[in-house]
Every structure is written in structure tokens, then in C-alpha cells.
Amino acid sequence: MSFQTEKALVRAHYAALAKATPDTVADVLAERVSPDWHWRGMHPFHEQHGAQAVADTFWSPFLSAISRVQRREDIFFAGKNEIDGFNSVWVASMGHLMGLFDAPFLGIKPHRRIAMLRYAEFNRIENGKIVETALFCDLIHLMRQAGQYPLPPQTGMHLVQPGPATHDGLLRDDADPVEGQATLALINRMIGDINGHEKYATRQEELSQCWHDDMLWWGPEGIGATYTIDRYIDQHQRPFRTQIKDRVYNGHVCRMAEGNFGGFFGWANLTLTNAGGYMGLPAGTPADMRVVDMYRRDGDKLAENWIFIDILHFLHMQGNDVLGRMETL
């Protein structure tokens, strides 16, 4: 099984974007996407169709605000999508978009220094074109860098997050399919443990089934990063399970793996209600969580997990317009 054609297309797409300007980016996008390209972005970008709409909504404003952009890629892999019966091919990328923050972006004030916008992107390839994309970027992380953090103190740690500890996340060549199958099977087993966690006596017992004890959980800004099973429980799992109610799992759009790396995203993965206290915020109404998870497997257990959550959308659905407040500051 080879994904070289699909990987080459996405790499060419990224190389062209690296040379694009706010005025040319629509044409650059149009070179490799289908006319009816379906693009998903986090709040306030949401769903767009076609190169011009995506350029107007995200890329032109972003390139106008942040200059000399470099893609600092940490993970790159491809695979067939389990969710549609392994019919479609997707290419995933994760890292940072780094540049000089020189003009306002979504009401976030520039500081004329290096800014690093965390991103994860999934691209579905069909007939030599990108036909579907999900681009998740951590805007609250960018706000923190600009000194405009909009939320109460988080339980985890704020970091400009590194790539895999093994420095082997860029799968330019195709990996052994057996390794990807093992990674996907482990991710699925881990998801099963989350949904059936009541069968374990302790949270430590549950997590130790699929995770190394020195796991790294690179959470989104607003929650933060945490290290080891015990600290993950204290700084993310326990708050999530005790301060959230009425959780509904909606499923994933794409779930795949190659080699030791895998990931998924949903639109939205979950619908849930803040019962009061989650992320230091008051109780709210039911709201959606759009989530990306990227994983690194080490042997028979998971070692690292990078998470992107559309927290701005989650809050906006509860009447908390974070970006609207930024515009008034």
C-alpha cells in the first residue's frame, strides 16, 4: 500500500502556500483543491467551500497579520480512513505555523515578535485533488503568546509544544502497513476503555492498559500539557469527568494511522454540558467539542498525545464570545 502520490500532492500544496501572499493565496489554493473543496476550520472560520472562500476567511487575514510564515512540521503521515470503511485516503500534518506577528488578527494585538500557531490538518485526496480539509489551530495559544490570555488559570502547563520525543514523525516514505494496523488497533482499544471506564477499579488501572506511565499529553491552551498518568488524571481527566455532564459521543469524520502515528478528528466529536467549574468557568448549556487527537505509539502502548479542541466554539455556544471581547479591548 503506497501513499506517495497523496503525500507528494500535500507537500507540493504546502510548498506553494509558503510562497503565497494575501493577494495570491486564493489562486495558490485553487491549484490543488477541487472546485467544491470542503474546508473545516475552528471558530470563527467554521465551514467553507472553494478556494476563494477559504482564502477570504482564513489565509488572507492570517498572512496579512503574520509575515514570513514558516511551516514547522513535526508529524506527517497518511492512511485510509477507518470511518468510511478504509475507502478514502487522507494525509495528516501537525506542527506550528511560525512568523512575525506584525498586524492585528481576529482582534489579537500584534507584538512584532515571533509567534507560533499550533496546527493540525487533515486532507482527503481524491483524483489528484484535495477535496476535503480540516484545519485546527490553537488561537487561545496565540493569545497567550500575545499577552492577552482570555481564560481563568488552567490545570496543565502552557508550552510551545514540541513534536515527538523520537523525532521520527515525518513519514515521507511509506511505513510498514502492519505497524499502522497495530497503532490503529491500540487507539481503538484506548477509545473503548474511555467508553467503558466503569469496569476498572481506578483511573490508574484504566489508563495503564493502553498508556505508558510516563505518557505526555500535549493538551490545548485553556487546559494545558501534562506528564505521567498520575498528573494527567489530576490535571485533565478528573476535572473533565467530574465537572462535565450529559456527554454525548457523536463520532469521528476521519480516524487513521501509519507506522507508529495515528489520529482522528470529529465535527463535533462530543456534545456536553459544563456542570460548573470546568476550565474555571460557570455552568453552561450543552455545547459541541470539535477535537483532533494525534498519537505516537511506542511498542504496545501509547506514549504521546497531541490534542486540539475548538474551545472558542465550545465557549461561543454557551454565550461566551471570547473573540468579540478581544475586539473591544
Q: Which fold has domain 177-328?
A: Nuclear Transport Factor 2; Chain: A, (3.10.450)
Residue 196 has a pLDDT of: 80
181: helix, coil or strand?
helix
Q: Per-residue confidence at 329, pLDDT binned at 50, 70, 90?
A: low
Q: Per-residue confidence at 235, pLDDT binned at 50, 70, 90?
A: very high
pLDDT digits (tens, 9 = 90+) for 65-109: 999 999 999 999 999 999 999 999 999 999 999 999 999 999 999
22: helix, coil or strand?
coil
pLDDT digits (tens, 9 = 90+) for 1-44: 799 999 999 999 999 999 999 999 999 999 999 999 999 999 99
**Model-wide pTM > 0.85:** yes
Number of residues that this document lists for the chain: 329
Amino acid identity, position 217: W
Residue 326 has a pLDDT of: 79
Listed in order, strand segments (DSSP E) in 42-88 are: 46-49, 66-80
Backbone phi, then psi, for 81, in 5-degree steps?
-80, 115
Contact 306, 94 (CB under 8 A): yes
Indicate the CATH number of 4-145 among 3.50.50.60, 3.10.450.50, 3.90.470.20, 3.30.43.10: 3.10.450.50
Residue 194 has a pLDDT of: 86
pLDDT digits (tens, 9 = 90+) for 153-174: 999 999 999 999 999 999 999 9
What is the rounded CA–CA span in Å between residue 228 and residue 268?
Answer: 28
Q: Per-residue confidence at 197, pLDDT binned at 50, 70, 90?
A: confident
Residue 269 has a pLDDT of: 97
Q: Which residues contact 323 (CB under 8 A, 6 or more apart)?
A: 43, 44, 106, 107, 139, 312
Q: Per-residue confidence at 215, pLDDT binned at 50, 70, 90?
A: very high
Domain layout of the chain by residue ranges: 4-145, 177-328
Task: For strands 226-227 and 66-80, give the pairing.
Answer: unpaired
Residue 327 has pLDDT above 80, yes or no: no
